[in-house]
Structure 1
Amino acid sequence: MNILFVCTGNTCRSPMAEALFKSAASRKKLDVSVKSAGLFAPENGKASLYAVEALFEKNIALNHSSAPLSKEKVEWADLVLTMTEQHKHLAEREYPNHQDKIFSLKEYVKGKTGDITDPFGGSLSDYQKTRDELEHLLHQLADKLSGRAR
């Protein structure tokens, strides 16, 4: 299964989600490929320093270059998971033939709407809170995909 995480600039939330989910999927031995992109991301931008640091605290390396969302990435993905409802709506509008596989992360995991807080421009503490929120949801996603949903 190919999973694509999407946020705004692909420097904070979606790369953190990509790295955290790769770690969770590896522990569950899931057969998945994972990428991330941003709706308004530059090509080859750097991940936020605090995103790197917040993941390092969990012993997860983040060696990341930002990438814009593209038709090729959406077609590659079996599942496109956005960080916010607005990201979902923008992606659906841009790629109407793929609406059936585009969900917000909270919608797909919890079955209800909601956004992942954007730590951009915030403190390390803000990034840690976002990391922890993502980590919790991504463990639930790994459980769901492995057939052991709680």
Structure 2
Amino acid sequence: MKNILFVCTGNTCRSPMAEAMLRKLAGERQLGLEVRSAGVAAMDGATLSRHTEAVLRDHGIEETFRSTSLHRGLVEWADLILTLTQSHKRHVIQRHPAAAGKTYTLKEYVEDDPAVLNDLKELDSLYASQEMMASLGKELSVGERERMIEIRQRIPSFDISDPFGGSREDYDIAAAEIRTALHRLTDKLEQGKNRS
């Protein structure tokens, strides 16, 4: 059984969609997954947004859901943490450094282009160096800062668009992005399962 945690901002839109959709997909594909979600700025106990409920109903999913704020227990529970944006990923890693090796954006985790993956690895290393240097009151070299900018300009966006406060169409767009990534995720998990 693999424990997967999705993380977004308020845990009322994107991460609950990802949680519920993956739970359904995993059941259909008979993957042994436990799936939860949380928000970096969530208020515990909030209900889903009405558009999120409607999108999930359209996918044949009707679940009772209450938001959860991200906490250490959830981070420790998770084998894999998939965030909906790069800023969520940075938040998780800054607050829970031990989770760095198991935290990715959803789109990043399912990316399979070797050149992009190498860029991501280098960028993560540069971010880690930047944090360490900042804690020592120092800065990265000009060359390292320029390299970060160069890589950021080159890699694709790994953020799922935020529909919060938007129209039903905005929620449908976010759901489509999530669904596409989740299909790639379940393919990847199935391949890993077949290799074991």
* Range class of TM-score, shorter chain: over 0.9
Please give the alpha-carbon distance, in whole angstroms, between the structure 2 residues aligned to 1:40 and 1:15.
Answer: 14
- Of 108-117 and 57-66, deviating more is 108-117
> What SS does the aligned partner of 1:67 have?
coil
Q: CA separation in 1, counterparts of 2:180 and 2:108?
A: 14
- What is the CA distance between 1:13 and its match in structure 2? 0.2
Offset, 1:58: 1.4
Tell me whether 71-80 or 106-115 shows the greater mean CA deviation.
106-115
Pairing 1:141–2:142 present: no
Identity level (%): 44
Whole-angstrom CA distance in 2 between matches of 1:107 and 1:52: 26
Cα deviation, 1:85-143, whole Å, max 9, x if unaligned, reads 01000100000011100101111011555100000000111101111111111011011
- Stretches of 4+ moved more than 3 A in 1? none
More helix by share: 2
Equivalent position SS for 1:5: strand
Corresponding residue of 1:60 = 61
RMSD: 1.1
Quick one: which amino acid aligns to residue 65 of structure 1?
A: R
Q: Counterpart of 1:64 in 2: which secondary structure?
A: coil
TM-score by length of 1: 0.95
In structure 2, the gaps of 5 or more residues are 117-156
Q: Which amino acid aligns with 1:138?
A: L
Match of 1:41 in 2: 42
- In structure 1, the partner of 2:85 is 84
TM-score normalised according to structure 2 size: 0.73
Choose from 117, 122, 127 the match for 2:161: 117
Aligned length: 148
Bigger RCO of structures 1 and 2 (CA < 8 A, at least 6 apart): 1
User: 2:42 and 2:178 mapped to 1: Cα distance?
Assistant: 20
User: 1-side partners of 2:184 and 2:99: how far apart?
Assistant: 24
1:17 aligns with 2:12: no
Cα offset for 1:62? Answer: 3.5
